[in-house]
Amino acid sequence: MFKRISKYWWCQLLGWLAYFVVNIFFAYSFAGDVETSYVINLLLIIGCGLLATHVARSFLVRINWFLYSFEAQMLLCFALTISSGVVLYVEYIIIGNFFRHSWQQRGFTETKTLSELLSMFIITGIWWLIYFVWHYIERNGNAQVDRLKLESTVKELELKTIKAQLNPHFIFNALNSIRALVDENPKRARTAITELSNILRSSMQVDKAETVNLENELNIVKDYLALETIRFEERLQVRYDIDQETLVLPIPPMMLQTLVENAIKHGISRVITGGTVIIRSHVNNMQHEITVENTGQIREDGAGHGFGLQSTRQRLSLLYGNRASFDIHNKNDETVEAKVLMPLF
């Protein structure tokens, strides 16, 4: 039975019960006795207050007050305090007259009307203040929990997808290249197997941390490019421009790998004569700037806007909010530049 009572009604009943107990306690403490008329008046106020606040609360729920701005909610709280206080007083006078003798009948123009109205305003003001503060804290708490759950889910899904996104064509091409090297250059074949193993191991561990040091990510990228060099041979040239101080800076795992893989897939592989990939990492204006340049052009068929690059934008947004940015564009008629900016702190 009690489980069917909503949290709102529990608060209503317990709140007004507390109001009754506190008033009885102070009345007994100061007067040494509590008259029956005082108890009846107190119960009358509680009944009228329960009715007035419930009706006002029903109106409030109907207009979806939680969608209003904070300032509008404060004005609404003030208006409800005044209006429900007036309604409470009117109910108290009218309903109370049914229980009073003719010589005890009350009106609205008595000298103590103002003081009683003020008392009603205090009662309803406390009620509405508790109501708004309760819901404000509850909504903020729920919103924060929902946001954290959403971010956690998005991160988990993205990272798992990134793991599954490791280009199977790259793996097949790498295995074919290694097979060709087994007889021709066994030593290089063993090295290539180690490089492929490092890449696969890194992709399997990508969900264990939100960030990794640039140095660790760069080592995986070098292994990847070494394998691609076997396939492209002299068609692929790689240059590095890395500030040593940036090697310890954190970046999202597989981010640089994604940018370099995009440069190979949509840039170098589409140019008959091949081209160059340049990886840069510097600190500019208190930001970590990473750029990947490659020979080629972004075309109108959607290159540059695939899953990997969209995932890069989303992961940067989740980790750094609007303090980080990612952009990819044609730097000139022959080169594409992908640039990532991340805050140092």
> Is residue 159 situated within a structural domain?
no
Query: Where among 117, 151, 185 does a domain terminate?
Result: 151
Please tell me the distance from the alpha carbon of residue 219 to that of residue 198, in angstroms, as a whole number.
9
Residue 124 and residue 171 in one domain: no
Nearest to 325 by CA among 317, 334, 333, 335: 317
Q: Provide the pLDDT for residue 130.
A: 83
Residue 172 and residue 312 in one domain: yes
Domain count, the chain: 2
The two most distant CA atoms of the chain are separated, in Å, by: 118
Query: Where among 107, 123, 151 does a domain terminate?
Result: 151
> Is residue 161 situated within a structural domain?
no
Secondary structure (3-state) at 94: helix
Residue 71 and residue 28 in one domain: yes
> Is residue 327 situated within a structural domain?
yes
Residue 185 and residue 329 in one domain: yes
Residue 126 and residue 228 in one domain: no
Over residues 55-112, the pLDDT tens digits come to: 888 887 787 776 777 788 788 888 888 888 887 777 777 776 666 666 566 666 666 7
Secondary structure (3-state) at 290: strand
Residue 136 and residue 9 in one domain: yes
Residue 197 and residue 62 in one domain: no
Residue 8 and residue 113 in one domain: yes
* Arithmetic mean of pLDDT over the chain: 80
Residue 188 and residue 336 in one domain: yes
Banded model confidence at residue 338, pLDDT cuts 50, 70, 90: very high
> Is residue 99 situated within a structural domain?
yes
> Is residue 64 situated within a structural domain?
yes
Query: Where among 96, 122, 151 does a domain terminate?
Result: 151
Over residues 19-51, the pLDDT tens digits come to: 888 878 877 787 777 777 778 777 888 888 888
* 276 compared with 261, residue with greater pLDDT: 276
Residue 257 and residue 326 in one domain: yes
> Is residue 198 situated within a structural domain?
yes
105 contacts 97 by C-beta, under 8 angstroms = yes
Residue 92 and residue 123 in one domain: yes
Over residues 124-170, the pLDDT tens digits come to: 888 888 888 887 787 777 767 777 776 667 666 665 555 555 556 66
> Is residue 71 situated within a structural domain?
yes
Q: Provide the pLDDT for residue 39.
A: 81
Q: What is the CATH number of the domain that holds 290?
A: 3.30.565.10
Range of the domain at 131: 2-151
Secondary structure element (H or E) that encloses residue 67, with its range: none
Residue 121, judged by CB atoms within 10 A of its CB (0-12, 13-18, 19+), counts as: middle
Which residue intervals of the chain are DSSP H helices? 7-31, 36-62, 70-97, 113-165, 168-184, 186-204, 214-232, 255-266, 307-320
Residue 340, judged by CB atoms within 10 A of its CB (0-12, 13-18, 19+), counts as: buried
Radius of gyration of the chain (CA): 36
> Is residue 178 situated within a structural domain?
yes
Banded model confidence at residue 15, pLDDT cuts 50, 70, 90: confident
Q: Provide the pLDDT for residue 103.
A: 59
Residue 329 and residue 255 in one domain: yes
Banded model confidence at residue 203, pLDDT cuts 50, 70, 90: low
